[in-house]
Amino acid sequence: MGYITVESGVNLYFEDIGEGKPVLFLHGWPLNGRQFEYQTGVLPYYGFRCITIDFRGFGNSDNPWQGYNYDRMSDDVRNVIERLQLNEVTLAGFSMGGAVALRYMRRHAGSRISKLALLAAAAPSFTQKPGYPYGMKPEEVNKLIEQTFRDRPKMLAEFGKKFFASDVTPAFRQWFQSLGLQASLHGTVGGAAALRDEDMRADLAAVRVPTGIFHGKLDQICPYEFALELHKGIPGSLLYPFEKSGHAIFYDELERFNATFLQFISDRNRP
């Protein structure tokens, strides 16, 4: 664990666990890299090196006033990859992290990436746009931003209820909400604005590595239609539907997700 300077005065926190082929995890909004502990605690036993980062404004990373757009966040990812001298990376992005991963593939030509895993990705667009009728309306995200300014803990608690299709213990839910509380207020707002405004439809054609799309059919935050659009837009991609999972694709069907994800990154990638 440690910090990497991605621009003057901005340091990102990262954790680096295990040895072997690297898997770089990008977290979702409004969480941080700790959301993947049920993956990073298992995959090293199978010979994988797991790296998580906290995006700027989230978790233990610095909280600059600016930089909460996917171009800047994908530049941050590039800096981490280069500073850690990673090669043949599986880039695994959840929700907002999946959108940033797609922007990385276009903006940085997929540099050093050998596989892409999109986990309940907030893409091709998180909000409805002309020709794209899926997801939230921009006005609904504006309400989340308003709630963040007024009562961020309540917003996180209400938004968190939509994550899971499975029953989780009160203790787990409390821990999960604590991840969002570690973010800064302006980082939370900046990430929400990016979700509202960014559009990755033009990024899909830049993906030229084996891609796995992991998505829950019960997802209330990033509807399953997102996965179908990604599958259509990324030639040769593999779609892994999870019948009993909501947005929390990494936890709702934990054993099945870990086994399927391990199969994909181990080159035994059959849907």
Q: What are phi and psi of 178, to 5 degrees?
A: -65, -25
Backbone dihedral angles phi then psi of residue 123, each to the nearest 5 degrees: -160, 155
By CB atoms closer than 10 A (0-12, 13-18, 19+), residue 102 is: buried
Number of alpha carbons in the 13 Å side-chain half-sphere of residue 24: 30
Write out the catalytic residue numbers: 95, 219, 247
Rg value, the chain, Cα: 17
Could you list the beta-strand ranges (E) of the chain: 2-7, 10-17, 21-26, 48-53, 89-94, 113-119, 211-216, 238-242
End-to-end distance of the chain based on CA atoms, in angstroms?
A: 34
Which residues lie closer than 8 Å to 200 by C-beta, 6 or more apart? 70, 99, 102, 103, 123, 124, 125
Specify burial of residue 189 (Cβ count, 10 A radius: 0-12, 13-18, 19+): buried
What does residue 265 show for φ and ψ, rounded to 5 degrees?
-75, -15
